[in-house]
Structure 1
Amino acid sequence: MTVDDPTLAAADHRHAVTGSGKPACLLVDWGSTRLRLWLVDDRLAVLDRESGPQGQASLTPQDYEPLLTGYLDRHGLSYDLPIAICGMAGALAGWREAPYLDCPATLMTLADHAIPVSDRLPRCAILPGVARRDDTHPDAMRGEETQCLGAHVGGVGDGWLCLPGTHSKWVRLQDGMVQHFSTYMTGDLYAALGRHGALAGLMAPDGADHDLMAAHLAEFDAMVATALADEGGSWDRLFALRAAVVTGQRDGAATAARLSGLLIGAEIAHIRRSLDGVVSIIGDPSLAALYARGCDSAGINHTILDAEAVTIAGLGSAARRLADIPTGT
């Protein structure tokens, strides 16, 4: 669909800034359903931060440039400002395809494979994703590789990253490379079962799940433990979530927490055989906290990294390489 008002002027999400220097570059995380951008100085301190619903799924290729030029115009910024973009803007159905790099992929050279996209914005480029071209188990990521880069430049060494979301990624970093990764459609399954399946009438309306989850964490923990004990083979327990409510054994308000625990527990049960060391979890705070609880139940050592800070660090590192911006002091 074409955007009628191609600006971020009515962005629904803006926070306090942290920097006071001169704008050095614009960093853009263009997801399927959300657009997030940060104007930063040469130290990557945030001068302005906006987000809105102009995700890739709602845009045509002609819509992207006006969104960025509109932002630059409103802030009196030059079209020559370096702009680094990650995410679905580089998908086949996005602004312009940024071909995947093969896994293993060296993180510090992501920017070397960035694709320029606009004559009007001569220093604007989209970073590539990373793909496993495996005949039996192919996989792909767009956007998460930039968070991996941010974690790497932030000091995370060899080990595992967990990036929960609609399509959760577990990524093995080694020697500054994405050495291996696996994707779990946990978020997709949660949404599909909760909105369209047999559990739909028992789930909370969109936006209420997090509040209900907090009220039923014991139920979440119990289902994580069940999935871990089942070694991830918990498919026969999905309908049991409904049966427990319709037979009066369980309160329907806890269904969201129980479904989330079962799915996240099954995901962790499957991946934990591959893990070693400390897992760094990068994601939305509430979702990252649930994955941390799941890791606790599985005896997996973990730490939580700030997702926004990691994304800024990754995009900022790429922008510096693209535009030869010196590191601020």
Structure 2
Amino acid sequence: MTAASYAAVDWGTSSFRLWIIGESGKVLAERRSAEGMIAAGKTGFSTVLEAHLAAISAPSHLPVIICGMAGAKQGWAEAGYLDTPAPLAGIVKAAIPVKDDHRDIRILPGLAQRNEAAPDVMRGEETQLLGAMAELGGGSHLVCMPGTHSKWVRITDGTVEGFSTFMTGELFDVIAKHSILSHAVAEGGHFDSTDAAFLEAVAQAAKHPALATNLLFTVRSGQLLHGLSAKAAKAKLSGTMLGLEIAGALAAARPTGDSVSVIVSGGLTELYRDALSALDLNPAIIDADDAVRHGLAAAANAIWPA
């Protein structure tokens, strides 16, 4: 650990990710756990952080840069929000210090859209956007950031002009477990993003978003009347939710003519890629883990220049 330069932490609501970064920018060590804001609020943020740093023998003086829910009102220390339109470079200047006797710890702020008709907030995604700018480049971009609460962000030359949050993942979970559709999808298991039921549902929902609740009910009625399998029912529910999200995001962003980029990792990659491709929106895919590390690196290098 003698070559370590800083520790980078992405602290979510239910997840914790830490990387030790060397002087060359290389990842020297990594830690992941389910000790997000909710768990850390009970255990103690400093206790959680120091336990992970000790587990990989990180130096006691190593500085730490943090993004995400550790900076929320209910987190370690409130980092506040920058108001849109917000240059992404500005989040570095607004980082707040955390009082600590042993090391220099900074938490990056989130972004807020204070439009009374469309209020919105993000925390953590702004750091991914900062890290993705090298791949996005200049000009105008529409960026999708999938998750439990997906973000669709409008960026022009490195400035976040505005964004919209869609509760797609959370609503899918609620509907699949606690509505009448739970009977249709209970035994669905895994489905592929190229499944015809998924892609057709994406297309129908994107074309007819006003029929949202009707389209959702056809997951059940299609099974009762036409023998729709549980797997196809689950694919149809997922495709309907994604199609509605995309329709809403494009309505909020257009007319722009912007390309669509998706910052994503894991199983959602194929779902969003194929859903967007089915609507002739062939997206550029940017790895979310790489993006957040690059964003944290940009902040660390600005705060603690070599």
Against the structure 1 CA distance between its residues 320 and 233, is the aligned structure 2 distance closer, same or farther, given a 3 Å change threshold?
farther
Whether 1:258 aligns to 2:240 is no
Pairwise CA distance, 1:232: 5.5
Q: Provide the aligned length of Structure 1 versus Structure 2.
A: 302
Cα deviation digits, residues 40-81 of structure 1 (max 9, x gap): 113332111121110112232761101111222233322321
Name the structure 2 match of 1:25: 6
Against the structure 1 CA distance between its residues 262 and 106, is the aligned structure 2 distance closer, same or farther, given a 3 Å change threshold?
same
Against the structure 1 CA distance between its residues 76 and 251, is the aligned structure 2 distance closer, same or farther, given a 3 Å change threshold?
closer
Name the structure 2 match of 1:84: 65
Against the structure 1 CA distance between its residues 216 and 196, is the aligned structure 2 distance closer, same or farther, given a 3 Å change threshold?
farther
Name the structure 2 match of 1:194: 176
For residue 162 of structure 1, what is the amino acid of its counterpart? Answer: C
Against the structure 1 CA distance between its residues 277 and 215, is the aligned structure 2 distance closer, same or farther, given a 3 Å change threshold?
closer
Cα deviation digits, residues 247-279 of structure 1 (max 9, x gap): 353112222211110011111122224252321
Pairwise CA distance, 1:90: 0.9
- Is 1:219–1:258's contact at 8 Å kept on the other side of the alignment? yes
Q: Secondary structure at the match of 2:50?
A: helix
Whether 1:70 aligns to 2:51 is yes
Moved runs in structure 1, 4+ residues, more than 4 A? none
Instruction: Give 1:180's match in structure 2, choosing from 129, 146, 162.
Output: 162
Name the structure 2 match of 1:94: 75
Name the structure 2 match of 1:238: 216
Name the structure 2 match of 1:299: 280
Pairwise CA distance, 1:229: 2.0
Runs of at least 5 residues in structure 1 that lack an aligned partner in the other structure: 1-19
With the length of structure 2 as denominator, give the TM-score of the two structures. Answer: 0.92
Trace 1:1-329 onto structure 2 (pairs within 5 A): 22-60=3-41, 63-158=44-139, 159-204=141-186, 209=189, 212-214=190-192, 217-231=195-209, 233-273=211-251, 274=254, 275-324=256-305, 326=306
Against the structure 1 CA distance between its residues 42 and 201, is the aligned structure 2 distance closer, same or farther, given a 3 Å change threshold?
farther
For residue 231 of structure 2, what is the amino acid of its counterpart? Answer: A
Against the structure 1 CA distance between its residues 154 and 242, is the aligned structure 2 distance closer, same or farther, given a 3 Å change threshold?
same
- Is 1:232–1:265's contact at 8 Å kept on the other side of the alignment? no
Q: Secondary structure at the match of 1:32?
A: coil
With the length of structure 1 as denominator, give the TM-score of the two structures. Answer: 0.86
Q: Secondary structure at the match of 1:166?
A: coil
Cα distance in 2, alignment partners of residues 174 and 77 from structure 1? 39
Deviates more, 1:294-303 or 1:99-108: 294-303
- Is 1:216–1:254's contact at 8 Å kept on the other side of the alignment? no
Against the structure 1 CA distance between its residues 302 and 216, is the aligned structure 2 distance closer, same or farther, given a 3 Å change threshold?
closer
Q: Secondary structure at the match of 1:43?
A: coil
Cα distance in 1, alignment partners of residues 272 and 194 from structure 2? 15
- Is 1:171–1:181's contact at 8 Å kept on the other side of the alignment? yes
For residue 11 of structure 2, what is the amino acid of its counterpart? Answer: W
Against the structure 1 CA distance between its residues 155 and 298, is the aligned structure 2 distance closer, same or farther, given a 3 Å change threshold?
closer
- Is 2:150–2:166's contact at 8 Å kept on the other side of the alignment? yes
Pairwise CA distance, 1:121: 4.3
For residue 103 of structure 2, what is the amino acid of its counterpart? Answer: P
Deviates more, 1:283-292 or 1:88-97: 283-292
Pairwise CA distance, 1:156: 3.1
- Is 1:203–1:252's contact at 8 Å kept on the other side of the alignment? yes
Against the structure 1 CA distance between its residues 76 and 110, is the aligned structure 2 distance closer, same or farther, given a 3 Å change threshold?
same
For residue 198 of structure 2, what is the amino acid of its counterpart? Answer: F
Against the structure 1 CA distance between its residues 314 and 193, is the aligned structure 2 distance closer, same or farther, given a 3 Å change threshold?
same
